[in-house]
C-alpha cells in the first residue's frame, strides 16, 4: 500500500453566532481563550486518498501554536498498517475571536454524525479522493481551512493524530501568519459558506500563502435545492426554510449563497486555470444511477441531521423564532424532503485554481 507523503495543516476558523458568555474573553487574538480541540473532522482529512481506520493510542504531547498558545491535551495517532514517518504532517489552526460575536453550531454527537455522513458523500462523489485539483507529485505541505465544526472546540470524542500533525489556533479571517519559509503546495477548504465575511480578502490570503504552482480548492454544498421536473414546488415549507436561512445568514454578515461567485473572485485574486464544477446530489434514492442512489441515501440522512444545527442559531438569534415554532418548521421541512414524489437535489460545487509560477 502506497502511503501519502504530503503535509496537511488543518484550520478551525468558524465564527459562531451569538454572544460570548465569558466576560474576560481576550480581545487580543494572540491571547487565546482556554479551549480544547474538537477532532472529529481531522479523521476525515487523514483519509485524503486512503481510507485507513486502524488506530492505536499513543501518549499525549503538548502543542504550541505560532501565536504561543500551549496545548497539552492532544493525543497521538499511530496506524498499525503504515509507517508514521510517511504520513502527512498536519497543522490545525482553530478559531480565535477578537469580537464577542461568535458563529454557533451545536457541539454534540449530532454534529459528529453529520460530519461523518458529509464525509461519506464527498468520498463517493470524488471516487475515494477528497480533492479535484490536478495535484502533481506528492505535495509536501497541505493546509486545510475550517476543519471540523470550529465553534467551541470541545473534546467530544477521542481522536488520535499523527506525529506530522500540528494544531494551530487562529481566525482565518484575520491576517495569516505564513511567510516565504512555510508556504503551501495545496490549500483545501470544505463547506465554508456561512463562515466568511470578506471573500476577496480570504482569497488574497490564500493566494499569498501558496507556493508557485500551488492550488487552492473550495468545496461546498450550496444552501439552495432544486428539481428538474417541477417537484420543488411541492416542498413549500422547505422552500420557506431555505429562503429564511439564506436571509438570516446574510443579515449576520456571513452569506450562504456565495459559491457561484468564487471562481471570479479567485481570478481577481490572481489565480489562473480556475475550474468551477457543479455536481447534482439527490436527496433520497430516486436517481436511476446506482452510485447516485447511494449518495442520495446519505444526503437524505444528512439533510435530516443537518437541518437543526444549521438553522437553530440563525432562526432564534437573528430571525427571532421560538424553539417551539422551529420544532413545527423542522418537522414540516423533513416531511418535504422525505416526500417520495419529489425529486430534489442539492448542488455541490468544486472550485479550484492555481497560483502561477
| pLDDT for residue 352 | 99
| pLDDT for residue 139 | 85
List phi, psi (to 5°) of 165.
-115, 120
Percent of the residues in the chain that have a pLDDT greater than 90, as a whole number = 50
| Residue 185 pLDDT exceeds 60 | yes
Residue range 114-131: average pLDDT? 89
Residue range 186-211: average pLDDT? 94
Side-chain-facing half-sphere of 70: CA atoms under 13 Å: 3
Helices (H) and strands (E) in the chain, counts: 7, 10
| Residue 43 pLDDT exceeds 80 | no
Whole-number mean pLDDT of the chain?
Answer: 74
**pLDDT-based confidence at residue 138 (cuts at 50, 70, 90):** confident
| pLDDT for residue 67 | 33
* C-alpha cell at position 292: 447516485
Residue range 119-132: average pLDDT? 93
57-66, 86-95, 157-166, 341-350: which range is least confident on average?
57-66
Helix axes 236-252, 323-338, angle to 10 degrees: 130
Residue 148 CA: distances (Å) to CA of 33, 160, 236, 333: 18, 15, 32, 26
| Residue 11 pLDDT exceeds 70 | no
Contact 283, 117 (CB under 8 A): no
| pLDDT for residue 146 | 75
Helix, coil or strand: residue 213? strand
| Residue 149 pLDDT exceeds 60 | no
Percent of the residues in the chain that have a pLDDT greater than 70, as a whole number = 62
| Residue 270 pLDDT exceeds 70 | yes
Cα separation, 226 vs 289, whole angstroms = 18
Contact 11, 145 (CB under 8 A): yes
62-76, 112-126, 200-214: which range is least confident on average?
62-76
| pLDDT for residue 86 | 41
| pLDDT for residue 3 | 41
* Highest mean pLDDT pick, 146-155, 167-176, 260-269: 260-269
| pLDDT for residue 295 | 97
Q: What is the dihedral of CA 205, 206, 210, 215, to 10 degrees?
A: -160
Residue that wins the pLDDT comparison between 249 and 107: 249
DSSP state of 288: S
List phi, psi (to 5°) of 294.
-65, -45
Contact 302, 117 (CB under 8 A): yes
| Residue 262 pLDDT exceeds 60 | yes
Q: May I ask the CATH class of domain 8-222+255-282+347-354? A: alpha beta
Amino acid at each position: 500500500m502506497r502511503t501519502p507523503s504530503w503535509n496537511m495543516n488543518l484550520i478551525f476558523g468558524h465564527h459562531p453566532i451569538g454572544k460570548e458568555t465569558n466576560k474576560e474573553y481576550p480581545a487580543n487574538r494572540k491571547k487565546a481563550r482556554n479551549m480544547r480541540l474538537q477532532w472529529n473532522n481531522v479523521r476525515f482529512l487523514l483519509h485524503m486518498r486512503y481510507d485507513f481506520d486502524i488506530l492505536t493510542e499513543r501518549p499525549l504531547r503538548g502543542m504550541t501554536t505560532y501565536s504561543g498558545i500551549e496545548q497539552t491535551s492532544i493525543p497521538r495517532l499511530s496506524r498499525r498498517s503504515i509507517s508514521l514517518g510517511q504520513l502527512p504532517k498536519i497543522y490545525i489552526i482553530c478559531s480565535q475571536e477578537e469580537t464577542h460575536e461568535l458563529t454557533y453550531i451545536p457541539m454534540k454527537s449530532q454534529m459528529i454524525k453529520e460530519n461523518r455522513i458529509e464525509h461519506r458523500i464527498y468520498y463517493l462523489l470524488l471516487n475515494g479522493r477528497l480533492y479535484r485539483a490536478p495535484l502533481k507529485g506528492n505535495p509536501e505541505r497541505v493546509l486545510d481551512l475550517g476543519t471540523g465544526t470550529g465553534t467551541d472546540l470541545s473534546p467530544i470524542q477521542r481522536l488520535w493524530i499523527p506525529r506530522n500533525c500540528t494544531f494551530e489556533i487562529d481566525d482565518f479571517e484575520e491576517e495569516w501568519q505564513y511567510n516565504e519559509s512555510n508556504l503551501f503546495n495545496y490549500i483545501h477548504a470544505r463547506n465554508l459558506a456561512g463562515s466568511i465575511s470578506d471573500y476577496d480578502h480570504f482569497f488574497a490570503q490564500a493566494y499569498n500563502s501558496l507556493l508557485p504552482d500551488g492550488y487552492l480548492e473550495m468545496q461546498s454544498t450550496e444552501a439552495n435545492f432544486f428539481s428538474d421536473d417541477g417537484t420543488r414546488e411541492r416542498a413549500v415549507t422547505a422552500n420557506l426554510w431555505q429562503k429564511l436561512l439564506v436571509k438570516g445568514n446574510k443579515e449576520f454578515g456571513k452569506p450562504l449563497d456565495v459559491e457561484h461567485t468564487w471562481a471570479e473572485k479567485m481570478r481577481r485574486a490572481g489565480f489562473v486555470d480556475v475550474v468551477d464544477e457543479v455536481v447534482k446530489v439527490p436527496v433520497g434514492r430516486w436517481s436511476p444511477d446506482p452510485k447516485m442512489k447511494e449518495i442520495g441515501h446519505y444526503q437524505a440522512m444528512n439533510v435530516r441531521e443537518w437541518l437543526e444545527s444549521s438553522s437553530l442559531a440563525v432562526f432564534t438569534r437573528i430571525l427571532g423564532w421560538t424553539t417551539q415554532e422551529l420544532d413545527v418548521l423542522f418537522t414540516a421541512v423533513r416531511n418535504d424532503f422525505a416526500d417520495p414524489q419529489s425529486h430534489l437535489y442539492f448542488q455541490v460545487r468544486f472550485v479550484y485554481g492555481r497560483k502561477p509560477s
